[in-house]
Chains A and B, each alone.
Chain A
Amino acid sequence: MIETRGLTKLFHDKKRGEIRAVDNVSFLCKPGQIYGLLGANGAGKTTTLRMLATILEPTDGTAVVCGYDVIDAPEKVRANVGFLSTATALYPRLTSQEMVEYFGRLNGLDEATLEKRVDELFSRLDMNSFRQRRCDKLSTGMKQKTSIARTLIHDPQVMIFDEPTIGLDIMTARTIIQFIRECRDRSKTVIFSTHVMSEVEKLCDVIGIIQSGKLLAEGSLAQLRQHYQEQDLEEIFVKVVAPLYAAQESI
C-alpha cells in the first residue's frame, strides 16, 4: 500500500528561483491495483515517484509505503519497493546474473535464498541464455529483462515504474506492460507514471492526472469519463490540464 499525504517537493534554481515540482499531492494506492500517474513532461511524475522510492526527500508532507514512512524509515521503504525506470541503467561491466545478485545481496538475501531466487527469476523471464553475458553486451530487451529481475529479486510488495517504456521498441515495451500486469495479478501495489494514454487505458485501475506538481484529477477511467463527459482519455487529459498548462506557458 502507498499513501501520500500533502507530498511536496521544492527545488531551488539560481535563475528561476523556487520551483514547486510536487505540490501538496495526496493519493492512495492499494495492493492488487495499478495506479497510473498521467502527466506531461515536467509535470512532477518522476519527482513524486522518486520521493516514494526515497531517492529524494519530501520538502513537506510525507508518504507511507508498506507501513513505513518515507522520511522516518527510508531504508525499510526501499527494502519493500522495486523501482524501475528508463533512468535505472545496469552496470556495464557486470554480467546479467552478477547485476541481479548484487541487488539481492543489498536487499539482505542470504546466499542460498539468493541462488534459488536467481534461478527462479532467470527461468521465469527466459534469461538463462545470457545470464553470464556482460550487461554492455546485452540487447535492449535483455537489458530490460535484467532490470525487471533486479527489481523483483527481493520480491517487493510495492512496484514503482517511472515511464518504463519510454524509448523502447514495441516488443520490449510489451514485455514491460505484461510484467506490470503480472505484478498486479500477484497482488502487489503498483504505481506507474507515463504520458502514453493507451498504456493508461490498458493498465490502470486508478488514474491520477498531474500538472505543475498538482494532482488535478483522480479516479478510475469510467469515473473520469463520466465526470468530464468525454470518452477519449486524451480529451479528458486536455480538459484537466489546459487551464494550468496555459497559465504555465504564459509565465
Chain B
Amino acid sequence: MSLRNVGIVYRKELTEALRDRRTMISTILVPLLAFPLLSVGIGTLATFLINKAREETPKVMILGGDDSPGIAAGLKSLEKIEIVPSLPNWKEQIVNKDIRAAVEIPPGFETDLKQQKSDTVKIYMYEGEMKSSFAVDRVDKYLNDYRESVVKERLSSNHLAASMLRPFDIQQANVAPPEKVSGAAIGGFVGYMVILLCLTGAMYPAIDLTAGEKERGTMETILSSPISRMHLVLGKFLLVLTAALGTAALSVFSMGVSFSALHHFALASGGDKGDAAQLLLDLGPRTVISVFVMALPLAVMFSAALMTISLFAKSYKEAQSYIQPLMFVVIIPAVASVLPGIELTPKLALVPILNASLLCKELVTGTYHWNYIAIIFFSTCVYAAVALYLAVKMFQREDVLFRS
C-alpha cells in the first residue's frame, strides 16, 4: 500500500475542508460552543434561579392561633419568612402564588400542649413549587425545633435525660467519589452529546467528499488519475475521521473545561454545592481522556458508515436525506442510555452506540469496569472495521460511482 498516495489525498482534502465554512462550523464551532452553552448556560441559569428563589422572603399566613400567642410570635420572629395577616381566601392566595404557604394552628393549641394533649399543626403549600417548598422547609424546621424544645422541657420537668427519647442518632455519609454523586444526573447526557457531536462533525465532510464530489463533477477527474481507489477512499476516510475526532476532541475538551470552570465558579461563589450538584460535573483529565479513547472506534465507524451511505447518493441533498434516518439510529440508543435504570450488561455491551454511550456515562461518574471497557472497545473496533470495509467496497462499484 502506498502511504504516499493516501497522504497526498489526505493533505488535499484537508486543505479543501479548512476552506469550507460548513465543515468548519460543524467540526470546530459547534463542539466548542455546545458544552459551554449547555453547562455554563443551563447550570448558571439553574443556580441563579435557585439562589433567587432562596433569597426571596416567602409570605406565610398563620390561620388561627389567636389563643396561642407563643407559637405565632415564634413564627413571626423567623428571619426568612414574612408573616402576613390572615385572610379567608388563603387557599386561592397560595394557588395564585401571592403567598407561599399557610400554617393552621388548631384552637387551644398551647393549652393542649400544657395539658399534654396531642394536636396537629397543618402546613398548606403548593406542591412541586420551589419557592413554596422553601417556605415550608423554614416553617417545618421551626415547628420541629419547637416540638423538640417542648419534649426536652417535659423530660427535664420529670427529671429524665434527653437521651431517654433519643437513644441514638442516625447519620448518613457518602463514600462514592464526588464526581459519581454529581455525575449521576448528567453523566449519560455527556456521553450522548459526545457521540452525537462525533457524528455531526463527520457528516458534512463525508457528504462533501463523496456525493459532493459527484455533484461537482470532480469524481471522474480524480478517477482518471493513477491513484488506486483503495488509496483514494483511505485518504478521504482519514479526513472524515479527522473531522469526527476533531469534533469529539473539541467537545470533550470543551466539556471538561466548561464543567470544571462551572464547578470552581460554584465553589468560589460560596454557593451551597448541594443545590446545584445535580448539574455540576468535576471532570479530571483521566475522565476526559477515557471518554475520548472510547470515542475513537466510534468515530471510525461513523466516518466509514457516513461515507458508504453518502457515496451512494448522486447529490448533496440526496445524501442528506439518506443520512437523516441514520441520525435516528444513533440518537435512539444514545438517548436510551440516559434513561434511568439502564445499565451495562454483557448483552448491552455488544449493542453498538448504546454500549459506548452507557460506558461514557460510567466513565464520567468515575467507574471503570475494565471487562466492559475491553468488550465495548473491541466490539466497536469490529463494527468500525466492517463499516470501513463496506466503504472501500462501495468505492469499487461502478454502478454506485456512476449512478444516474
Binding site for B on A (CB under 8 A): 11-12, 50, 53, 55-57, 75-76, 78-79, 81, 83, 85, 87-94, 98, 102-103, 105-108, 134, 150
Residues of A within 8 A of B368 (CB): none
Cβ–Cβ < 8 Å partners of B19 in chain A: 93, 134
Report Cα–Cα, A92/B19, bound state, in Å. Answer: 10
B216 and A92 contact, CB distance less than 8 A: yes
- 18 inter-chain pairs at a CB distance below 8 angstroms, sorted by A residue, are A53-B224, A55-B223, A55-B224, A56-B402, A75-B226, A78-B224, A85-B220, A89-B216, A89-B217, A91-B12, A93-B19, A94-B12, A94-B15, A94-B16, A98-B15, A102-B8, A107-B225, A107-B226
> Which among B16, B221, B223 has the greatest number of chain A C-beta atoms within 10 A?
B221
**A90 close to B402 (CB less than 8 A):** no
Q: How far, in angstroms, from A93 to B205 measured CA to CA in the complex?
A: 13
Q: Is the CB of B225 within 8 A of A106?
A: yes
- On whether the beta carbons of A87 and B220 are closer than 8 Å, the reply is yes
Which chain A residue shows the least CB distance to B13? A91
Give the CA-CA distance A56 to B399 in the complex, in Å.
10
Main secondary structure of the interface of A (DSSP, over half): mixed
- A83: which B residues are within 8 A, CB to CB? 224
Tell me if B153 counts as interface (CB < 8 A to partner A).
Answer: no
Q: Are A79 and B226 in contact (CB under 8 A)?
A: yes
Q: CB within 8 A of A91: which of B218, B220, B223, B225?
A: B218
How far apart are the CA atoms of A162 and B399 in the complex, in Å?
20
- Complex Cα distance A90/B224, Å? 13
Number of A-B residue pairs, CB cutoff 8 Å, is: 63
Q: How many residues of B contact A (CB 8 A)?
A: 22
- Is the CB–CB distance between A57 and B398 below 8 Å? yes
Further contacts, 14 of them, CB under 8 A, given A55-B223, A94-B15, A98-B12: A11-B399, A75-B226, A79-B226, A83-B224, A87-B220, A88-B224, A89-B221, A91-B16, A91-B218, A92-B216, A93-B15, A93-B19, A103-B225, A106-B226
Which residue from B226, B228, B402 sits with its C-beta under 8 Å from A108?
B226
List residues of chain B with CB within 8 A of the CB of A53: 224
Verify A87–B217 contact, CB threshold 8 A.
Answer: yes
Contact of A106 among B5, B15, B217, B218 (CB under 8 A): B5
